[in-house]
Structure 1
Amino acid sequence: MDVFASIDLLKSAGLHADCTMLDPWYNKGVGGELPLEEYDDFIRRLLNETAVISDLMYLWGFPEIIGPYVRFAPEGFYMAAWLTWYYKNCPSVIRGWRSSQNACLKFMRKGHKLHPENFLTAEQKQRFESGKMRFVPGLPSVIEAPLIIGFIGKNERTGHPSQKPEAVFDKLLLMAAKPGDLIFDPMAGSGTTAACALKHGMRSIVCDQNEDYIQMLEKRLGVKRIAL
């Protein structure tokens, strides 16, 4: 399903997501590349449309592509954090600097609450719930996890060409939501967002317009798509 059609579907159903994961193609290299202005317009529209049905949005991209989008916060939202996924096992054969990071911009509705308490130890959580913990520490803005290549991430691998590890999405979802909350991913790829949401007791709605990816997602999650 087209990304904007899936957003419209949530609007028409009156559904509201606590968190949305946006991982579009990065407009880099061959396949799906748009003129820069058109890609900028696509990202701006993507954020504005998603802001209608979500309180928090994560937008992924390479740093050199995504940098200008820190200014694209929709009305009522602000750019709350620049997060980095850092990996050491990049297989690139490019001479010179090898890419070893992806960037993720966090846009959040003003007044929306995060959940750093999800990362507390059992002892810390007891103090937090009893009101004895006045300050809950956050997480570092750099998440280190290896690429899913070779023998690494073998249990997660689906065959998707740019699959991100669950170790990265786990942290993003746990900071953004609590059990029972609704997570939305309109460009779900291999279904990592849904797999992590399921693991943490969250609900999810995921879509993709690529038939191969939908089949990967169905196999990974053990579910079948809803016919619309």
Structure 2
Amino acid sequence: MSRLALLKDALGQPYYESDSAIIYHMDCAEGLRKLREKGVEIDATITSPPYNIGKAYEEIKPVEEFVSWLVEVSNAISAITRENGSYLLNVGYLEVPGKGRAVPITYLLWDKINFFLNQEIVWNYGAGVAARHYLSPRNEKVLWYVKNSRDYTFNLDAIRDPDVKYPNQKKNGKLRCNTLGKNPSDVWQIAKVTSGANRSSEERTTHPAQFPVDLITRLVLGFTNEGDVVLDPFMGSGTTAQVCAAHNRYSIGFELREDYCEIIAARLAAEAKAKALQAMTPMLF
């Protein structure tokens, strides 16, 4: 039985499925519980949960309750993650009443879950909230957690940055730089998905907080392998599933809102069509 078939056996009939993805219109807590009960494991999780800031898809909770909920979900993910698996968690910032205006969620969360924090990645972008009484926020974090600090996936060559200032610099007659490029470091400058007249990103959907394809592509290529099963418990617009499909990974995801499930299904169908067309292209010439 294939790995996706095992997942379906544990969870039942999905809302949408393709050769590379299965989507469930389901609360992730229920889905994670069913996977654990069946002993099904995944290789990695790449996700961005609600930030508790009042977006259309969330209800604001007291900060302590929100953090406790996120810890509970994260620990449920840990319980179904393979021993060499990873958890890539994108979080932003929120207000802690009486204590801070823009407090990174990382400060409240990082050491409370059953993973080893390998590194914090800073995602820097240009567009965002234009503040008047404090600095305009222009970054979010991706916490790179691993299950085993000595055994995890890291494909540096797949995500090297080709923009090298002195690519031909030599030492003792040998090139100093890797010909594929440099290590991209832990600060990534990647554009957000923007909206609005004359500035909307090409990949924009109707989801109000969409992950950029470029960011997820780097995470998928850098921290998972072909054939891996990647979980997104908060699918949103489905960027993680779309990128996995494009790069020969399998994905499973949960989404509470049916209208968002429709967005995801449409993106996956479009990706499958694009891959099929690409496969046919050499035959046309």
| TM-score after normalising by structure 1 | 0.82
> Once the 2 structures are TM-superposed, how far is the Cα of residue 216 of structure 1 from its aligned partner?
0.9
Partner residue in 2 for 1:97: 135
- Paired with 1:165 and 1:220, the residues of 2 have a C-alpha distance of 13
> Once the 2 structures are TM-superposed, how far is the Cα of residue 180 of structure 1 from its aligned partner?
0.8
Which letter does structure 1 place at the counterpart of 2:249? M
> Once the 2 structures are TM-superposed, how far is the Cα of residue 183 of structure 1 from its aligned partner?
0.5
Size of the aligned set, in residue pairs, is 209
Partner residue in 2 for 1:144: 189
- Paired with 1:6 and 1:219, the residues of 2 have a C-alpha distance of 22
Which aligned pairs between 1:107-186 and structure 2 lie closer than 5 A? 107-110=145-148, 111-119=151-159, 138-149=183-194, 150=196, 151=198, 154-186=201-233
Moved over 6 A (4+): none
> In the alignment, is residue 70 of structure 1 matched against residue 95 of structure 2?
no
What whole-Å deviation, never above 9, does each CA across 1:107-141 have from its counterpart, x for those lacking one?
Answer: 101122322232369xxxxxxxxxxx9xx974311
> In the alignment, is residue 87 of structure 1 matched against residue 117 of structure 2?
no
Partner residue in 2 for 1:2: 27
Which letter does structure 1 place at the counterpart of 2:152? H
Segments of structure 1 that go 5 or more residues without pairing to the other structure are 122-132, 224-228
Identify the structure with the greater strand proportion: 2
> Once the 2 structures are TM-superposed, how far is the Cα of residue 8 of structure 1 from its aligned partner?
2.1
> Once the 2 structures are TM-superposed, how far is the Cα of residue 3 of structure 1 from its aligned partner?
1.2
Alpha carbons of structure 1 residues 203 and 108: separation in structure 2 relative to 1, 3 Å: same
> In the alignment, is residue 210 of structure 1 matched against residue 257 of structure 2?
yes
- Paired with 2:122 and 2:60, the residues of 1 have a C-alpha distance of 23
Q: Which one has a bigger Cα radius of gyration?
A: 2
Asked if the contact 1:60/1:102 (under 8 Å) is kept, the reply is: yes
Which letter does structure 2 place at the counterpart of 1:25? P
Asked if the contact 1:18/1:176 (under 8 Å) is kept, the reply is: no
Alpha carbons of structure 1 residues 96 and 25: separation in structure 2 relative to 1, 3 Å: same
Of residues 186, 191, 195, the one that matches 2:242 is: 195
Of residues 29, 46, 58, the one that matches 2:73 is: 46
Alpha carbons of structure 1 residues 213 and 92: separation in structure 2 relative to 1, 3 Å: farther
Asked if the contact 1:184/1:206 (under 8 Å) is kept, the reply is: yes
Secondary structure of 1:172 counterpart: helix
Segments of structure 2 that go 5 or more residues without pairing to the other structure are 1-25, 94-102, 162-177, 271-285
> Once the 2 structures are TM-superposed, how far is the Cα of residue 86 of structure 1 from its aligned partner?
0.8
Secondary structure of 1:72 counterpart: coil
| TM-score after normalising by structure 2 | 0.67
> In the alignment, is residue 57 of structure 1 matched against residue 87 of structure 2?
yes
Which letter does structure 2 place at the counterpart of 1:222? A
Secondary structure of 1:25 counterpart: coil
